[in-house]
Amino acid sequence: MLEGKNLIVFFENAIAVNNLSFYVNKGEIVGILGSNGAGKTTLMNTISGLIMDMKLKEERKGGERITVLGQLLFEGKDITDLEPHKRVELGIVLSRERHPVFLESTVEENLRIAACSRRPKESRIGIDFVYSIFPHLKTIRKRRAGFLSGGEQQMLSIGMALMTKPKLILLDEPLLGLSPILQKELVRAIKEIRDDGVTVLITEQFARPILPIIDRGYVMENGMLVMEGKGSELIENPEVKAAYFGV
């Protein structure tokens, strides 16, 4: 479904993604693990196309020079230079770390805004699906997003991404800052999202909760892939245990 070939991303003279190649098969949950600063978010921005917007904005204001090299393929189509909104139209949707929501609008209004391009019946079906994945959101559907906890906002942001009916959802560190209870709830939801036919690519520095549910995983360090394998293999790998489990 998705393939990256020899991706390189430079910010001025600093390299954030270094000759990175990977693939994601349809129907998989694939994890990209790495510590803070490993290049995970830059990779997700590159896949979603946000890096293209960042590059253009920097060029216009004469700021930091951003260079992107390599190739991205989605369902066999070259999307390397494709604009972000066109990637969304193809079915690639990013839910960023601390993804912004409309604070003055209610939970359900946020979901409807995210589905603005869909027909009313499709929007209703989408909202019902989000509520089935995150039952708690239904109980607070009339609450303004600005009054939600961090975990509730995270659920809402993922729900908003799902309202676009993605084929591939990109989750950038969704567990960051959440309590163990909320982490467990979100991991359950991610499995249900995949079971409903949405392919999932997730980045995390907290490997323990997601390793049991991923089909395959990659480990990033300093912008490079240093390890890959099935989730079960990574769980048993002593280097992964030492780096992410503290054992």
Model pTM above 0.95: no
What string of pLDDT tens digits covers the 247 residues of the chain? Answer: 999 999 999 998 789 999 999 999 999 999 999 988 899 999 999 999 999 999 888 888 888 789 999 999 999 999 999 999 999 999 999 998 767 899 999 999 999 999 887 788 889 999 999 999 999 999 999 999 999 988 899 999 999 999 999 999 999 999 988 888 889 999 999 999 999 999 999 999 888 889 999 999 999 999 999 999 998 888 888 877 776 665 4
Q: Cα separation of 247 and 242, whole Å?
A: 5
pLDDT in tens, 120-154: 888 999 999 999 999 999 999 999 999 998 889 99
Distance CA 227, CA 33 (A): 10
- List, for residues 67-98, the tens digit of each pLDDT value: 999 999 999 999 999 999 999 999 999 998 76
Q: Which of 231, 239, 247 shows the shortest CA–CA distance to 29?
A: 231
Q: Are 25 and 1 in contact (CB under 8 A)?
A: yes
Using CA atoms, how far apart are residues 236 and 75, in angstroms rounded to an integer? 32
Is 2-245 in CATH node 1.20.1250.40? Answer: no
Q: How far apart are CA 53 and CA 74, in angstroms?
A: 19
